[in-house]
Amino acid sequence: MVGDALALLPQVSDDYEVIVVNDGSTDETFAVLETLTRSSPHVKVINHERNQGYGGALRSGFLKATKDLIFYTDGDGQYDARELKHLLPLLARNVDIVNGYKLKRSDARHRRMLGATYNKLARFMFRLQVRDVDCDFRLIRRQALRNINLEASSGVICVELVRKLHDAGCAFAECPVRHYPREHGKSQFFTARRVSRTALDFLLLWVQLVALRRSSSAPQRNVRMISSEQSVANDDVRIVSE
């Protein structure tokens, strides 16, 4: 995946970097990343001694960001980083975030059902208009991230991110992306402890961002589909993967 990113980025910008967050991996991830940093000066690595959760990994990557644009995706190979080229033309001057949405989820049936239920519940409870809240394939203006404070350490950071960007008055565009079967490794999410933690964090986040806010002072903006014929003017690009 890092190789795909390094192949694409020179085609869209001459100022870029690839950040990989190693969130307390116990396999050979550290050694592989050391090799990648030696082979390319554009690769930077953040190593967590202990696992800090999906949200913790994303927050570390975002804090390391220095470029004008931040693109992030998962490191398990289920998204193709090269499809970033489809998101870039949609980031017009009046758009702050391009949110990907999966054309078809390539997972086991039970994961597809749980994912669809979670997405519908999140959209309803948090009043979100994006089609796929849980699609970790996003292009965001760094300035937009500066205007919000992310706190979640679990996977609910995706809901927190979208809701807080919406409340900050940011404008969204959407882009379809492909989702591929996972060929290597095994997801660590579906354990009783992590699912329970995510469910609790989800409810606490809803109380914080919705229940305790009877009215929002942020301007309400609809998700807008921007023509792919529009282009981005000389913005920097970076990849953050976890």
Per-residue exposure over 160-185, b if at least 16 CB sit within 10 Å of its own CB, e if not:
bbbbbbbbeebbbbbbebebeebeee
| Per-residue pLDDT, 183 | 81
**Residue 217, Cβ neighbours under 10 Å: how many?**
7
| Every domain of the chain and the residues it spans | 2-241
pLDDT at site 197: 85
> Mean pLDDT, to the nearest integer, of 81-89?
96
Give pLDDT, residue 174: 96
* Residue 165, both tokens: 């960007």
Give the whole-angstrom CA distance, residue 93 versus residue 80: 25
| Residues 6 or more apart whose Cβ sits within 8 Å of residue 239 | 5, 9, 16, 17, 18, 19, 71, 72, 73, 81, 84
pLDDT at 158: 96
Using an 8 Å Cβ cutoff, are 101 and 174 in contact? yes
Query: Amino acid letter at 145?
Result: L
Number of neighbouring beta carbons within 10 Å of residue 88: 20
* First-last CA distance in the chain: 11
pLDDT digits (tens, 9 = 90+) for 165-182: 999 999 999 999 999 998
Phi-psi region of 127 (alpha: psi -120 to 50; beta: other; left: phi over 0): left
Instruction: Provide the pLDDT for residue 231.
Output: 40
Q: Which CATH architecture has domain 2-241?
A: Alpha-Beta Complex (3.90)
Structure tokens at 36: 């990648």
Tokens of residue 111, six digits: 């994961």
